[in-house]
Structure 1
Amino acid sequence: MLCACGAAPAGGGADSAAAAAAGAQSAPASATAADTPDPSLDQVLAGAWRTPENMARDPYRHPRETLAFFGIAPGRTVVEITPGGGWYAEILVPWLGAGYVAAIVDPQALPEGRRDYYARSKATLETLFASSPERYGQARVVAYDPAAPVFGPPGSADAVLTFRNVHNWRSSGQAEGMFKGFFDVLKPGGVLGVVEHRAAAAVADDDGSGYVGQDQVIALATAAGFRLDEASEINANPRDTRDHPNGVWTLPPTNRHDEADRAKYQAIGESDRMTLRFVKP
Protein backbone atom coordinates (compact mmCIF):
# COMPACT_ATOMS: atom_id res chain seq x y z
CA MET A 1 0.00 0.00 0.00
CA LEU A 2 1.38 3.35 -0.95
CA CYS A 3 1.53 6.20 1.49
CA ALA A 4 1.40 9.53 -0.34
CA CYS A 5 2.71 11.24 2.80
CA GLY A 6 5.61 11.21 1.20
CA ALA A 7 6.27 12.37 6.88
CA ALA A 8 8.00 9.30 16.90
CA PRO A 9 8.86 7.82 20.33
CA ALA A 10 6.93 5.61 22.53
CA GLY A 11 8.92 2.68 23.59
CA GLY A 12 10.85 1.02 20.87
CA GLY A 13 13.32 -0.71 23.18
CA ALA A 14 16.72 -0.67 21.51
CA ASP A 15 15.05 1.18 18.66
CA SER A 16 14.23 4.14 20.87
CA ALA A 17 17.69 4.22 22.40
CA ALA A 18 19.53 4.38 19.09
CA ALA A 19 21.03 7.84 18.90
CA ALA A 20 24.73 8.20 18.18
CA ALA A 21 26.16 11.69 18.10
CA ALA A 22 29.91 11.55 17.57
CA GLY A 23 30.93 15.18 17.93
CA ALA A 24 30.20 18.27 15.89
CA GLN A 25 30.24 17.93 12.12
CA SER A 26 31.38 20.55 9.65
CA ALA A 27 28.55 19.43 7.38
CA PRO A 28 26.82 21.50 4.71
CA ALA A 29 23.58 21.01 6.67
CA SER A 30 24.89 21.39 10.19
CA ALA A 31 23.15 20.26 13.35
CA THR A 32 23.93 23.64 14.89
CA ALA A 33 20.99 25.11 12.98
CA ALA A 34 18.74 23.38 15.51
CA ASP A 35 19.89 25.94 18.08
CA THR A 36 19.53 28.95 15.80
CA PRO A 37 15.91 29.19 14.58
CA ASP A 38 15.51 31.05 11.30
CA PRO A 39 12.90 33.87 11.48
CA SER A 40 12.34 33.52 7.74
CA LEU A 41 11.08 29.97 8.29
CA ASP A 42 8.57 31.23 10.85
CA GLN A 43 7.30 33.70 8.26
CA VAL A 44 6.88 30.90 5.73
CA LEU A 45 5.09 28.67 8.22
CA ALA A 46 2.61 31.49 8.81
CA GLY A 47 2.26 32.15 5.08
CA ALA A 48 -1.27 32.89 3.84
CA TRP A 49 -0.72 30.57 0.85
CA ARG A 50 -0.54 27.48 3.07
CA THR A 51 -3.84 25.62 3.03
CA PRO A 52 -5.75 25.44 6.33
CA GLU A 53 -5.71 21.63 6.07
CA ASN A 54 -1.91 21.60 5.87
CA MET A 55 -1.44 24.11 8.65
CA ALA A 56 -3.73 22.07 10.89
CA ARG A 57 -1.19 19.24 10.73
CA ASP A 58 1.72 21.33 12.02
CA PRO A 59 1.20 20.10 15.62
CA TYR A 60 1.73 16.54 14.37
CA ARG A 61 4.47 17.11 11.79
CA HIS A 62 6.44 19.80 13.67
CA PRO A 63 7.98 21.34 10.54
CA ARG A 64 9.89 24.10 12.33
CA GLU A 65 11.57 21.74 14.79
CA THR A 66 12.09 18.98 12.21
CA LEU A 67 13.79 21.22 9.65
CA ALA A 68 15.96 22.80 12.34
CA PHE A 69 16.98 19.34 13.56
CA PHE A 70 18.01 18.41 10.03
CA GLY A 71 19.99 21.66 9.73
CA ILE A 72 18.06 22.91 6.71
CA ALA A 73 18.59 26.57 5.80
CA PRO A 74 18.43 28.88 2.77
CA GLY A 75 21.49 28.76 0.55
CA ARG A 76 21.66 24.97 0.61
CA THR A 77 20.63 22.43 -2.00
CA VAL A 78 17.95 20.19 -0.51
CA VAL A 79 16.42 17.21 -2.30
CA GLU A 80 12.98 16.10 -1.08
CA ILE A 81 12.19 12.53 -2.09
CA THR A 82 8.67 11.93 -3.46
CA PRO A 83 6.95 15.05 -2.08
CA GLY A 84 3.49 13.55 -2.60
CA GLY A 85 0.86 16.29 -2.51
CA GLY A 86 3.47 18.88 -1.60
CA TRP A 87 2.89 19.31 2.14
CA TYR A 88 6.55 20.10 2.78
CA ALA A 89 7.10 21.61 -0.67
CA GLU A 90 4.57 24.30 0.25
CA ILE A 91 7.03 25.29 3.00
CA LEU A 92 10.39 24.46 1.49
CA VAL A 93 10.12 26.08 -1.93
CA PRO A 94 9.21 29.59 -0.72
CA TRP A 95 11.94 29.27 1.92
CA LEU A 96 14.76 27.72 -0.13
CA GLY A 97 13.96 28.98 -3.61
CA ALA A 98 16.28 27.49 -6.23
CA GLY A 99 17.85 25.33 -3.52
CA TYR A 100 14.79 23.07 -3.48
CA VAL A 101 14.75 19.91 -5.62
CA ALA A 102 11.73 17.60 -5.81
CA ALA A 103 12.68 14.03 -6.69
CA ILE A 104 9.66 12.25 -8.14
CA VAL A 105 9.18 8.82 -9.67
CA ASP A 106 9.25 8.93 -13.46
CA PRO A 107 5.98 7.24 -14.50
CA GLN A 108 7.47 6.35 -17.88
CA ALA A 109 10.15 4.26 -16.17
CA LEU A 110 7.47 1.91 -14.82
CA PRO A 111 5.42 -0.85 -16.47
CA GLU A 112 2.21 0.56 -17.94
CA GLY A 113 0.01 -0.95 -15.23
CA ARG A 114 1.89 0.87 -12.47
CA ARG A 115 2.06 4.35 -13.97
CA ASP A 116 -1.28 5.88 -12.96
CA TYR A 117 -0.56 6.57 -9.29
CA TYR A 118 2.79 8.20 -10.03
CA ALA A 119 1.39 10.15 -12.95
CA ARG A 120 -1.30 11.58 -10.67
CA SER A 121 1.25 12.39 -8.00
CA LYS A 122 3.44 14.15 -10.56
CA ALA A 123 0.47 16.12 -11.87
CA THR A 124 -0.54 17.18 -8.35
CA LEU A 125 2.92 18.59 -7.63
CA GLU A 126 3.12 20.31 -11.01
CA THR A 127 -0.29 21.88 -10.40
CA LEU A 128 0.90 23.23 -7.04
CA PHE A 129 4.01 24.75 -8.59
CA ALA A 130 2.07 26.23 -11.51
CA SER A 131 -0.52 27.76 -9.19
CA SER A 132 1.91 30.45 -8.06
CA PRO A 133 4.97 30.86 -10.31
CA GLU A 134 6.28 33.76 -8.23
CA ARG A 135 6.32 31.51 -5.18
CA TYR A 136 7.19 28.10 -6.63
CA GLY A 137 8.81 28.96 -9.94
CA GLN A 138 12.36 28.30 -8.74
CA ALA A 139 11.66 24.73 -7.69
CA ARG A 140 13.56 22.09 -9.60
CA VAL A 141 12.12 18.66 -10.37
CA VAL A 142 14.13 15.49 -10.98
CA ALA A 143 12.35 12.37 -12.27
CA TYR A 144 14.01 9.10 -11.29
CA ASP A 145 13.72 5.42 -12.12
CA PRO A 146 13.01 3.48 -8.89
CA ALA A 147 15.01 0.53 -10.24
CA ALA A 148 18.16 2.68 -10.57
CA PRO A 149 17.50 5.94 -8.72
CA VAL A 150 19.62 9.00 -9.49
CA PHE A 151 18.62 12.24 -7.76
CA GLY A 152 21.15 14.60 -9.30
CA PRO A 153 24.87 14.88 -10.08
CA PRO A 154 27.07 13.03 -7.59
CA GLY A 155 28.00 15.15 -4.60
CA SER A 156 25.65 17.99 -5.54
CA ALA A 157 23.25 18.15 -2.56
CA ASP A 158 23.68 19.42 0.98
CA ALA A 159 20.71 17.47 2.30
CA VAL A 160 18.24 14.77 1.30
CA LEU A 161 14.88 14.60 3.10
CA THR A 162 12.36 11.78 3.09
CA PHE A 163 9.09 11.87 4.98
CA ARG A 164 7.24 8.59 5.60
CA ASN A 165 8.41 6.74 2.50
CA VAL A 166 10.67 3.94 3.72
CA HIS A 167 7.85 1.42 4.23
CA ASN A 168 6.95 1.74 0.55
CA TRP A 169 10.51 1.10 -0.60
CA ARG A 170 10.90 -1.91 1.66
CA SER A 171 7.71 -3.52 0.40
CA SER A 172 8.74 -2.96 -3.23
CA GLY A 173 12.32 -4.18 -2.76
CA GLN A 174 13.76 -0.75 -3.59
CA ALA A 175 15.03 0.44 -0.20
CA GLU A 176 18.71 -0.45 -0.65
CA GLY A 177 18.87 1.25 -4.05
CA MET A 178 17.16 4.37 -2.72
CA PHE A 179 19.59 4.79 0.17
CA LYS A 180 22.51 4.27 -2.19
CA GLY A 181 21.08 7.02 -4.39
CA PHE A 182 20.83 9.35 -1.38
CA PHE A 183 24.47 8.67 -0.50
CA ASP A 184 25.63 9.30 -4.07
CA VAL A 185 23.88 12.68 -4.51
CA LEU A 186 25.07 14.11 -1.20
CA LYS A 187 28.28 16.04 -0.64
CA PRO A 188 30.71 14.69 1.95
CA GLY A 189 29.30 15.88 5.27
CA GLY A 190 25.81 16.12 3.77
CA VAL A 191 22.75 15.19 5.80
CA LEU A 192 20.10 12.55 5.19
CA GLY A 193 16.96 13.36 7.19
CA VAL A 194 14.44 10.56 7.66
CA VAL A 195 10.98 10.70 9.22
CA GLU A 196 9.08 7.40 9.24
CA HIS A 197 6.18 5.69 10.98
CA ARG A 198 7.81 3.75 13.83
CA ALA A 199 7.00 0.14 14.67
CA ALA A 200 7.59 -1.20 18.17
CA ALA A 201 10.09 -3.70 16.74
CA ALA A 202 11.33 -5.05 13.42
CA VAL A 203 8.67 -5.90 10.82
CA ALA A 204 8.74 -8.06 7.70
CA ASP A 205 9.56 -6.45 4.36
CA ASP A 206 6.02 -7.10 3.18
CA ASP A 207 4.37 -5.86 6.37
CA GLY A 208 1.25 -3.92 5.41
CA SER A 209 0.92 -1.71 8.47
CA GLY A 210 3.02 1.19 7.16
CA TYR A 211 5.26 1.03 10.23
CA VAL A 212 8.98 0.19 10.18
CA GLY A 213 11.37 -0.66 13.00
CA GLN A 214 13.75 2.18 13.82
CA ASP A 215 16.74 -0.17 13.87
CA GLN A 216 15.74 -1.39 10.40
CA VAL A 217 15.92 2.13 8.99
CA ILE A 218 19.25 2.73 10.69
CA ALA A 219 20.56 -0.52 9.19
CA LEU A 220 19.53 0.53 5.69
CA ALA A 221 21.30 3.87 6.04
CA THR A 222 24.48 2.51 7.57
CA ALA A 223 24.68 -0.22 4.92
CA ALA A 224 24.67 2.55 2.31
CA GLY A 225 27.60 4.25 4.04
CA PHE A 226 25.88 6.78 6.31
CA ARG A 227 26.65 7.41 9.96
CA LEU A 228 23.79 7.99 12.38
CA ASP A 229 24.38 11.47 13.80
CA GLU A 230 21.37 11.79 16.09
CA ALA A 231 17.86 10.46 16.67
CA SER A 232 15.10 12.78 17.89
CA GLU A 233 11.70 12.34 19.47
CA ILE A 234 10.34 15.49 17.80
CA ASN A 235 7.67 13.54 15.93
CA ALA A 236 6.91 10.98 18.63
CA ASN A 237 3.37 10.07 19.65
CA PRO A 238 3.16 7.77 22.70
CA ARG A 239 -0.64 7.52 22.24
CA ASP A 240 -0.12 5.50 19.05
CA THR A 241 -0.50 1.81 19.92
CA ARG A 242 0.43 0.74 16.35
CA ASP A 243 -2.19 -2.04 16.35
CA HIS A 244 -4.87 -0.46 14.19
CA PRO A 245 -6.99 -2.50 11.75
CA ASN A 246 -5.79 -0.54 8.71
CA GLY A 247 -2.31 0.28 9.96
CA VAL A 248 -1.16 3.91 9.90
CA TRP A 249 -3.96 4.70 7.47
CA THR A 250 -6.47 4.15 10.28
CA LEU A 251 -5.18 7.31 11.92
CA PRO A 252 -5.44 10.93 10.77
CA PRO A 253 -5.09 12.31 8.20
CA THR A 254 -6.30 9.28 6.19
CA ASN A 255 -8.89 8.16 8.77
CA ARG A 256 -9.62 4.78 7.24
CA HIS A 257 -11.93 3.58 10.00
CA ASP A 258 -15.59 3.23 10.89
CA GLU A 259 -17.28 6.53 11.64
CA ALA A 260 -18.20 5.18 15.06
CA ASP A 261 -14.48 5.06 15.92
CA ARG A 262 -13.73 8.61 14.83
CA ALA A 263 -13.37 10.08 18.32
CA LYS A 264 -11.03 7.26 19.35
CA TYR A 265 -8.59 7.82 16.49
CA GLN A 266 -8.81 11.59 16.61
CA ALA A 267 -7.75 11.36 20.25
CA ILE A 268 -4.68 9.36 19.21
CA GLY A 269 -3.72 11.76 16.42
CA GLU A 270 -1.16 10.99 13.73
CA SER A 271 1.29 8.10 13.94
CA ASP A 272 4.32 7.70 16.18
CA ARG A 273 7.36 8.63 14.05
CA MET A 274 11.10 8.29 14.25
CA THR A 275 13.20 11.29 13.22
CA LEU A 276 16.75 10.38 12.24
CA ARG A 277 19.67 12.50 11.07
CA PHE A 278 22.43 10.71 9.17
CA VAL A 279 25.67 12.16 7.82
CA LYS A 280 27.69 11.11 4.78
CA PRO A 281 31.30 10.82 6.03
Structure 2
Amino acid sequence: MSTPQFLTLPPGVRRTDIETSRGTFAALEALPGSGISERGPALLVPGYTGSKEDFISVLQTLAGAGRRVLALDMRGQYETPGPDDASAYTCTELGADIASVIETLSDPVHLVGHSFGGLVTRETVITEPTLIESYTLMSSGPAAISGGREVDGRVLLSALPKVGLEHLWATRMEPQAIAKGVPPDIVAFLRRRMFMNSAVGLMSMANELLSMADRVDQLAKVSGGASLPVLVLYGENDDAWDPEDQAFMAERLGARKVVIPGAAHSPAVEAPETTASALTSFWNDAERT
Protein backbone atom coordinates (compact mmCIF):
# COMPACT_ATOMS: atom_id res chain seq x y z
CA MET A 1 0.00 0.00 0.00
CA SER A 2 1.35 3.44 -0.88
CA THR A 3 1.96 5.86 1.95
CA PRO A 4 -0.89 8.39 2.19
CA GLN A 5 0.20 11.99 1.69
CA PHE A 6 -1.02 12.73 5.22
CA LEU A 7 1.62 10.32 6.55
CA THR A 8 4.60 11.74 4.69
CA LEU A 9 7.08 12.54 7.43
CA PRO A 10 8.20 16.17 7.66
CA PRO A 11 11.92 17.01 7.52
CA GLY A 12 13.62 16.17 10.77
CA VAL A 13 11.07 13.46 11.69
CA ARG A 14 11.99 9.78 11.45
CA ARG A 15 10.54 6.38 12.27
CA THR A 16 12.42 4.59 15.04
CA ASP A 17 12.10 1.89 17.69
CA ILE A 18 12.62 2.37 21.43
CA GLU A 19 14.12 -0.60 23.27
CA THR A 20 13.02 -0.81 26.90
CA SER A 21 12.98 -3.24 29.80
CA ARG A 22 9.34 -3.99 28.91
CA GLY A 23 9.70 -4.45 25.17
CA THR A 24 10.18 -2.50 21.96
CA PHE A 25 7.93 0.43 21.07
CA ALA A 26 7.45 1.92 17.60
CA ALA A 27 7.92 5.68 17.59
CA LEU A 28 8.31 8.82 15.55
CA GLU A 29 11.21 11.03 16.60
CA ALA A 30 11.67 14.72 15.79
CA LEU A 31 14.85 16.67 16.45
CA PRO A 32 15.68 20.38 16.19
CA GLY A 33 17.06 21.53 12.85
CA SER A 34 20.51 21.87 14.38
CA GLY A 35 20.33 18.32 15.70
CA ILE A 36 21.15 19.63 19.18
CA SER A 37 18.46 19.53 21.87
CA GLU A 38 18.76 22.54 24.15
CA ARG A 39 15.58 21.87 26.10
CA GLY A 40 14.01 18.88 27.85
CA PRO A 41 12.56 16.05 25.76
CA ALA A 42 8.85 15.43 25.24
CA LEU A 43 6.87 12.21 24.90
CA LEU A 44 3.43 12.11 23.24
CA VAL A 45 1.06 9.18 23.88
CA PRO A 46 -1.98 8.57 21.61
CA GLY A 47 -5.53 7.57 22.45
CA TYR A 48 -7.67 4.50 21.89
CA THR A 49 -7.32 3.09 18.33
CA GLY A 50 -4.81 5.88 17.74
CA SER A 51 -1.08 5.81 17.01
CA LYS A 52 2.05 7.92 16.84
CA GLU A 53 0.88 9.27 13.47
CA ASP A 54 -1.82 11.29 15.24
CA PHE A 55 0.95 13.76 16.17
CA ILE A 56 2.64 14.12 12.76
CA SER A 57 1.28 17.64 12.26
CA VAL A 58 2.89 18.99 15.46
CA LEU A 59 6.18 17.11 15.72
CA GLN A 60 8.31 19.37 13.54
CA THR A 61 7.01 22.54 15.18
CA LEU A 62 7.53 21.18 18.70
CA ALA A 63 11.07 20.05 17.92
CA GLY A 64 11.83 23.40 16.33
CA ALA A 65 11.69 24.98 19.79
CA GLY A 66 14.89 23.13 20.64
CA ARG A 67 13.89 19.75 22.00
CA ARG A 68 13.73 16.08 21.09
CA VAL A 69 10.11 14.98 20.68
CA LEU A 70 8.89 11.38 20.57
CA ALA A 71 5.43 10.02 19.72
CA LEU A 72 4.82 6.31 20.18
CA ASP A 73 2.45 3.43 19.62
CA MET A 74 1.46 1.86 22.92
CA ARG A 75 1.56 -1.88 23.41
CA GLY A 76 -0.84 -3.53 20.94
CA GLN A 77 -1.27 -0.37 18.88
CA TYR A 78 -0.43 -0.31 15.16
CA GLU A 79 3.32 -1.02 14.84
CA THR A 80 4.00 -2.01 18.47
CA PRO A 81 3.09 -5.67 18.99
CA GLY A 82 1.24 -6.88 22.06
CA PRO A 83 0.34 -10.25 23.61
CA ASP A 84 -3.01 -12.04 23.53
CA ASP A 85 -3.43 -11.38 27.25
CA ALA A 86 -6.13 -8.95 28.33
CA SER A 87 -4.31 -8.13 31.57
CA ALA A 88 -1.44 -6.61 29.55
CA TYR A 89 -3.68 -3.71 28.44
CA THR A 90 -4.84 -2.21 31.72
CA CYS A 91 -4.00 1.43 32.35
CA THR A 92 -1.66 0.26 35.12
CA GLU A 93 0.33 -2.00 32.80
CA LEU A 94 0.34 0.47 29.92
CA GLY A 95 1.40 3.22 32.32
CA ALA A 96 4.35 1.07 33.40
CA ASP A 97 5.27 0.75 29.71
CA ILE A 98 5.38 4.53 29.41
CA ALA A 99 7.63 4.74 32.47
CA SER A 100 10.00 2.22 30.87
CA VAL A 101 10.19 4.38 27.73
CA ILE A 102 10.96 7.48 29.77
CA GLU A 103 13.71 5.61 31.62
CA THR A 104 15.57 5.19 28.32
CA LEU A 105 15.85 8.97 27.98
CA SER A 106 18.49 11.06 29.69
CA ASP A 107 16.19 13.58 31.37
CA PRO A 108 12.70 13.90 32.85
CA VAL A 109 10.16 14.43 30.07
CA HIS A 110 7.28 16.68 29.19
CA LEU A 111 4.61 13.98 29.06
CA VAL A 112 1.42 14.35 26.98
CA GLY A 113 -1.46 11.88 27.03
CA HIS A 114 -4.23 12.25 24.46
CA SER A 115 -7.71 10.85 25.26
CA PHE A 116 -7.27 7.26 26.51
CA GLY A 117 -3.56 8.03 26.54
CA GLY A 118 -4.36 10.54 29.28
CA LEU A 119 -5.81 7.81 31.48
CA VAL A 120 -2.72 5.69 30.83
CA THR A 121 -0.12 8.40 31.43
CA ARG A 122 -1.96 9.50 34.57
CA GLU A 123 -0.93 6.14 36.04
CA THR A 124 2.67 6.84 35.03
CA VAL A 125 2.64 10.21 36.78
CA ILE A 126 0.98 8.89 39.93
CA THR A 127 3.48 6.02 40.15
CA GLU A 128 6.68 7.67 38.90
CA PRO A 129 6.38 11.47 39.28
CA THR A 130 10.14 12.01 39.41
CA LEU A 131 10.38 10.96 35.76
CA ILE A 132 8.15 13.84 34.65
CA GLU A 133 9.11 17.48 33.97
CA SER A 134 5.54 18.52 33.13
CA TYR A 135 2.28 16.74 32.38
CA THR A 136 -0.41 17.53 29.81
CA LEU A 137 -3.84 15.91 29.64
CA MET A 138 -5.00 16.49 26.06
CA SER A 139 -8.71 15.92 25.39
CA SER A 140 -8.88 13.51 28.30
CA GLY A 141 -11.16 13.34 31.31
CA PRO A 142 -11.33 12.56 35.00
CA ALA A 143 -12.86 9.09 34.61
CA ALA A 144 -14.58 6.81 32.10
CA ILE A 145 -15.48 8.28 28.73
CA SER A 146 -19.03 9.55 28.20
CA GLY A 147 -21.36 10.79 25.45
CA GLY A 148 -21.33 9.46 21.92
CA ARG A 149 -17.86 7.98 22.29
CA GLU A 150 -19.13 5.85 25.16
CA VAL A 151 -21.84 4.49 22.84
CA ASP A 152 -19.22 3.67 20.19
CA GLY A 153 -17.12 1.86 22.76
CA ARG A 154 -20.01 -0.26 24.02
CA VAL A 155 -21.02 -1.14 20.47
CA LEU A 156 -17.48 -2.31 19.75
CA LEU A 157 -17.31 -4.36 22.95
CA SER A 158 -20.62 -6.03 22.22
CA ALA A 159 -20.23 -6.59 18.49
CA LEU A 160 -16.54 -7.35 17.99
CA PRO A 161 -16.63 -10.92 19.40
CA LYS A 162 -19.81 -11.67 17.45
CA VAL A 163 -19.25 -10.23 13.98
CA GLY A 164 -15.53 -9.51 13.82
CA LEU A 165 -13.51 -6.39 13.05
CA GLU A 166 -13.92 -6.65 9.27
CA HIS A 167 -17.70 -6.39 9.56
CA LEU A 168 -17.49 -3.51 12.06
CA TRP A 169 -15.11 -1.64 9.81
CA ALA A 170 -17.20 -2.10 6.68
CA THR A 171 -20.59 -1.32 8.26
CA ARG A 172 -19.74 1.30 10.89
CA MET A 173 -16.19 2.69 11.06
CA GLU A 174 -15.49 3.26 7.36
CA PRO A 175 -18.92 4.82 6.61
CA GLN A 176 -18.47 7.17 9.58
CA ALA A 177 -15.04 8.27 8.31
CA ILE A 178 -16.36 8.83 4.78
CA ALA A 179 -19.36 10.80 6.09
CA LYS A 180 -16.94 13.12 7.91
CA GLY A 181 -15.15 13.84 4.65
CA VAL A 182 -11.95 11.96 5.45
CA PRO A 183 -9.87 11.69 2.23
CA PRO A 184 -9.65 8.22 0.65
CA ASP A 185 -5.90 7.84 1.30
CA ILE A 186 -6.43 8.58 4.99
CA VAL A 187 -9.32 6.12 5.14
CA ALA A 188 -6.95 3.53 3.68
CA PHE A 189 -4.40 4.27 6.38
CA LEU A 190 -7.04 4.14 9.12
CA ARG A 191 -8.12 0.72 7.88
CA ARG A 192 -4.56 -0.58 7.83
CA ARG A 193 -3.93 0.78 11.31
CA MET A 194 -7.16 -0.65 12.71
CA PHE A 195 -6.38 -4.14 11.48
CA MET A 196 -2.82 -4.03 12.83
CA ASN A 197 -4.11 -3.38 16.36
CA SER A 198 -4.22 -6.29 18.77
CA ALA A 199 -7.83 -7.55 18.88
CA VAL A 200 -7.39 -8.50 22.53
CA GLY A 201 -5.90 -5.07 23.16
CA LEU A 202 -8.87 -3.35 21.52
CA MET A 203 -11.29 -5.17 23.81
CA SER A 204 -9.28 -4.68 26.99
CA MET A 205 -8.55 -1.01 26.34
CA ALA A 206 -12.23 -0.40 25.59
CA ASN A 207 -13.12 -1.96 28.93
CA GLU A 208 -10.65 0.34 30.66
CA LEU A 209 -11.95 3.38 28.80
CA LEU A 210 -15.55 2.59 29.77
CA SER A 211 -14.92 1.74 33.42
CA MET A 212 -12.03 3.90 34.61
CA ALA A 213 -12.52 5.38 38.09
CA ASP A 214 -11.89 9.04 38.87
CA ARG A 215 -8.22 9.38 39.81
CA VAL A 216 -7.94 13.16 39.78
CA ASP A 217 -7.47 13.47 43.54
CA GLN A 218 -4.58 10.99 43.47
CA LEU A 219 -3.00 12.89 40.59
CA ALA A 220 -3.47 16.22 42.39
CA LYS A 221 -1.80 14.85 45.51
CA VAL A 222 1.23 13.68 43.55
CA SER A 223 1.55 16.69 41.24
CA GLY A 224 1.09 19.14 44.11
CA GLY A 225 3.59 17.37 46.33
CA ALA A 226 6.12 17.20 43.52
CA SER A 227 5.36 20.75 42.31
CA LEU A 228 4.68 19.23 38.92
CA PRO A 229 3.21 21.64 36.33
CA VAL A 230 0.02 20.28 34.79
CA LEU A 231 -1.85 21.48 31.70
CA VAL A 232 -5.39 20.52 30.70
CA LEU A 233 -5.77 21.17 26.95
CA TYR A 234 -8.86 20.37 24.87
CA GLY A 235 -10.89 21.50 21.87
CA GLU A 236 -13.85 23.77 22.47
CA ASN A 237 -16.06 21.25 20.64
CA ASP A 238 -14.74 18.07 22.23
CA ASP A 239 -17.28 15.28 21.76
CA ALA A 240 -15.63 12.70 24.01
CA TRP A 241 -15.37 14.20 27.48
CA ASP A 242 -17.58 17.23 28.10
CA PRO A 243 -15.47 20.43 27.99
CA GLU A 244 -17.07 21.51 31.28
CA ASP A 245 -15.87 18.30 32.92
CA GLN A 246 -12.35 18.94 31.64
CA ALA A 247 -12.46 22.52 32.90
CA PHE A 248 -13.52 21.31 36.35
CA MET A 249 -10.73 18.74 36.27
CA ALA A 250 -8.26 21.55 35.67
CA GLU A 251 -9.63 23.37 38.72
CA ARG A 252 -9.28 20.26 40.88
CA LEU A 253 -5.68 19.87 39.74
CA GLY A 254 -4.80 23.55 40.07
CA ALA A 255 -3.68 23.18 36.46
CA ARG A 256 -3.26 25.56 33.58
CA LYS A 257 -6.13 25.29 31.10
CA VAL A 258 -6.04 25.90 27.36
CA VAL A 259 -9.11 25.61 25.14
CA ILE A 260 -8.30 25.26 21.43
CA PRO A 261 -10.78 27.24 19.28
CA GLY A 262 -12.45 25.33 16.47
CA ALA A 263 -11.03 21.96 17.56
CA ALA A 264 -12.96 18.91 18.72
CA HIS A 265 -11.36 15.76 20.15
CA SER A 266 -8.02 15.85 18.25
CA PRO A 267 -6.44 19.30 18.60
CA ALA A 268 -3.07 18.10 17.28
CA VAL A 269 -4.79 17.19 14.00
CA GLU A 270 -7.51 19.85 13.84
CA ALA A 271 -5.47 22.87 15.02
CA PRO A 272 -1.80 21.82 14.94
CA GLU A 273 -0.15 25.25 15.05
CA THR A 274 -2.28 26.50 17.95
CA THR A 275 -1.79 23.25 19.82
CA ALA A 276 1.98 23.19 19.27
CA SER A 277 2.26 26.82 20.39
CA ALA A 278 0.32 26.10 23.60
CA LEU A 279 2.46 23.06 24.41
CA THR A 280 5.74 24.85 23.71
CA SER A 281 4.73 27.81 25.89
CA PHE A 282 3.72 25.50 28.73
CA TRP A 283 6.90 23.42 28.48
CA ASN A 284 9.15 26.49 28.41
CA ASP A 285 7.41 27.92 31.48
CA ALA A 286 7.77 24.59 33.28
CA GLU A 287 11.51 24.55 32.63
CA ARG A 288 11.88 28.10 33.92
CA THR A 289 10.20 27.18 37.20
Q: TM-score under structure 2 normalisation?
A: 0.34
Q: TM-score under structure 1 normalisation?
A: 0.34
More helix by share: 2
